[in-house]
Chain A
């Protein structure tokens, strides 16, 4: 009972504090999305201060530190360092919100160190933030890859769509599902406002987009006879969604689709590539060899189902609750006919 009243009091406090300026901590600040987000937050009068957490040297960060921006290199996969960041610098600055975007991008990265960043850092961040004196809100960037895609499931993916919990899924997917579920399990029970944004992939370099890596090849191999619909996002729309989630009072899980829904073959044409349909069983070895020869990150096994069956995020909830509508289409190098 005491806990309940404390929580409701905190909720009331939150409602009023929402109108005050936000002090925001951003993880993954040195990723393309993180960097663009910080640029936008600097132009946002509702944000008083930004604490940008990078994995690399702050001296390499392209934005100048100033009154409103501070850049720190912290290995958030280490609990002690994350703890000290939150209860040190973040507390001193009165950080009210966290936008968590840090994830390993490589589809081939695996092992406990990768898991520590992808999952354990999210878990620890939520745990520390719950007992933090000033943090009230966490926005977690999740991915559309957490959803299953197959012939028996809807083409239009709502937030209730089955998650990809398959034991055969690569660590890249399993980690994202686990981090997502870790955040979801605290919703409603935590004193924090938690928002999970399941974003479709941003078709841009450095974002971990498998489709981008696939389209970078001059010849794109795809399964013969299948041409599923895919949806892609831009960095601009990703950042808009994160900002909307930051300033909203809502919590929950939201799909964030992009403005471009098109078949795989149209994506190939629009990217100015040559598509070569092959029998499905040849694609996995072909892409394995391509990776060995060129060192690219695209992993066919991870994309096999979505290269056969459509899976487009339904953004109705994000539109209705967060007011997010994708409005920045991809600038395709070529247009499909």
Chain B
């Protein structure tokens, strides 16, 4: 970042109440020597990230959270959520929700697409707030250190799906299930209701995506995200590591079945969330 952690800390203090800043002092964090963890996360930037995203969380999307107490206070876990909305605000809202609903506070490490580190400023801000590039080595290292990982198993097809396909889960990749079995951690399914309507899509452009280096770019029907209300539903942890032994992580059938189990759980949370909500904006 162009400014040091002390500036981030001061900026955060303007955005967050003192009690929240004090709570963040207890942040679960692995200091590699200069206040940063080996991936570049820094508590002052986590506070700044919470301060910035809290405006969206509290005022714009008025997030309602259900069942966050299932997130373990310590140890590794994979949070697997549906992905939607054309821009990854859903990731930001889950990130904020986890920070504020865990005590002592924990940061969920969002696994970002490989193009994210290539984005000037954005990539660095993501890194300082705990996001990591989506390489296998990174996620392995984080799980071995007992961190929380946020994975969107639908990947890009999920976030870029057209408005007509909202709340239709796309094919789940199996990496999250394999990791959970191999490294012995539970998967916590998450259903995000609201994000699917935030930015209706007209079309996508591969040409623009190639030009910007991000693969495919959505062309939205509205210039800014709509102020929909977010509902984040956490499901009971799925103990894949208890159902399967680590050596079964190499069995394609086992991993596929495990991923399917997670997909069903996320689908059930979405159904419940849709049934509970009274309207897109309320």
Q: Do A and B come from one complex?
A: yes
Bound Cα distance from A157 to B39, whole angstroms: 11
Q: Which residues of A contact B137 (CB under 8 A)?
A: 153-158, 161
On whether A154 and B36 interact (CB within 8 A), knowing A224-B120, A225-B121, A227-B124, the answer reads no
Q: How far is the CB of B31 from chain A (nearest CB, A)?
A: 9
> Which 5 residue pairs of A and B lie closest in terms of their CB atoms, listed nearest first?
A225-B120, A154-B137, A261-B32, A262-B34, A337-B6
B191 within 8 A of A: no
B4 contacts A266, C-beta separation under 8 Å: yes
Interface positions of B from 114 to 146, Cβ below 8 Å from A = 114-115, 117-121, 123-124, 127, 132-133, 135-138, 141
Q: Which of B33, B36, B120 contacts A226 (CB 8 A)?
A: B120
Give 30 CB contacts A-B under 8 Å. Answer: A151-B117, A151-B133, A152-B133, A154-B133, A154-B135, A154-B137, A154-B138, A155-B132, A155-B133, A155-B137, A156-B38, A161-B137, A226-B120, A226-B123, A227-B1, A229-B38, A229-B39, A259-B33, A261-B36, A261-B38, A262-B36, A263-B1, A266-B4, A266-B36, A277-B2, A310-B40, A329-B33, A336-B5, A337-B5, A337-B6
Q: Which residues of A contact B1 (CB under 8 A)?
A: 227, 263, 265
B40 contacts A155, C-beta separation under 8 Å: yes
Interface positions of A from 145 to 188, Cβ below 8 Å from B = 151-158, 161
A249 within 8 A of B: no
Which residues of chain B have a CB within 8 Å of any CB of chain A? 1-2, 4-7, 32-34, 36, 38-40, 114-115, 117-121, 123-124, 127, 132-133, 135-138, 141
A310 contacts B127, C-beta separation under 8 Å: yes
On whether A266 and B34 interact (CB within 8 A), knowing A156-B137, A229-B40, A337-B5, the answer reads yes
A269 contacts B4, C-beta separation under 8 Å: yes
Which residues of chain A have a CB within 8 Å of any CB of chain B? 151-158, 161, 223-229, 259-263, 265-266, 269-270, 277, 308-310, 312, 314, 329, 336-337
Q: How far is the CB of B112 from chain A (nearest CB, A)?
A: 10
Q: How far is the CB of B214 from chain A (nearest CB, A)?
A: 12
Q: Which residues of B contact A156 (CB under 8 A)?
A: 38-39, 137-138, 141
Q: Which residues of B contact A227 (CB under 8 A)?
A: 1, 40, 124, 127
Bound Cα distance from A61 to B209, whole angstroms: 60
B4 contacts A151, C-beta separation under 8 Å: no
On whether A263 and B6 interact (CB within 8 A), knowing A154-B137, A156-B141, A309-B117, the answer reads no
Q: How far is the CB of B32 from chain A (nearest CB, A)?
A: 4
Q: Which residues of B contact A155 (CB under 8 A)?
A: 38-40, 132-133, 135, 137-138
Bound Cα distance from A220 to B123, whole angstroms: 21
- Determine the main DSSP class of A at the interface with B: loop
Q: Which residues of A contact B39 (CB under 8 A)?
A: 155-156, 229, 310
B4 contacts A228, C-beta separation under 8 Å: no
On whether A151 and B34 interact (CB within 8 A), knowing A336-B4, A337-B4, the answer reads no
Q: Which residues of A contact B120 (CB under 8 A)?
A: 223-226
Bound Cα distance from A154 to B252, whole angstroms: 24
A312 contacts B117, C-beta separation under 8 Å: no
B135 contacts A153, C-beta separation under 8 Å: yes
Bound Cα distance from A136 to B128, whole angstroms: 47
Closest B residue to A329 using CB positions: B33
Q: Which residues of A contact B124 (CB under 8 A)?
A: 225-227
Closest A residue to B32 using CB positions: A261
A152 contacts B40, C-beta separation under 8 Å: no
Q: How far is the CB of B20 from chain A (nearest CB, A)?
A: 22
Q: How far is the CB of B132 from chain A (nearest CB, A)?
A: 7
Q: How far is the CB of A196 from chain B (nearest CB, A)?
A: 20
Q: Which residues of A contact B34 (CB under 8 A)?
A: 260-262, 266, 270, 336
On whether A261 and B33 interact (CB within 8 A), knowing A224-B120, A310-B39, the answer reads yes
Q: Which residues of A contact B127 (CB under 8 A)?
A: 227, 310
Q: Which of A151, A153, A314 contacts B141 (CB 8 A)?
A: A314
Q: Which residues of B contact A228 (CB under 8 A)?
A: 40
B4 contacts A265, C-beta separation under 8 Å: yes
Q: Which residues of B contact A309 (CB under 8 A)?
A: 117
Q: Which of B36, B121, B135, B138 contacts A229 (CB 8 A)?
A: B36
Q: Which residues of A contact B6 (CB under 8 A)?
A: 337
Bound Cα distance from A155 to B120, whole angstroms: 17
Bound Cα distance from A336 to B124, whole angstroms: 18
Closest B residue to A279 using CB positions: B120
Known: A152-B114, A152-B133, A310-B39. 5 other contacts (CB 8 A): A155-B135, A227-B1, A260-B33, A262-B36, A337-B4
Q: Which residues of A contact B114 (CB under 8 A)?
A: 151-152
Q: How far is the CB of B178 from chain A (nearest CB, A)?
A: 17
Q: Which residues of B contact A225 (CB under 8 A)?
A: 119-121, 123-124
Bound Cα distance from A24 to B117, whole angstroms: 45
Q: How far is the CB of A279 from chain B (nearest CB, A)?
A: 9
Closest A residue to B34 using CB positions: A262
B4 contacts A154, C-beta separation under 8 Å: no
Closest A residue to B142 using CB positions: A156
Bound Cα distance from A154 to B143, whole angstroms: 14
Q: Which residues of B contact A265 (CB under 8 A)?
A: 1-2, 4
Q: Which of A151, A269, A277 contacts B118 (CB 8 A)?
A: A151
Q: Which of B36, B117, B138 contacts A263 (CB 8 A)?
A: B36
Closest A residue to B6 using CB positions: A337
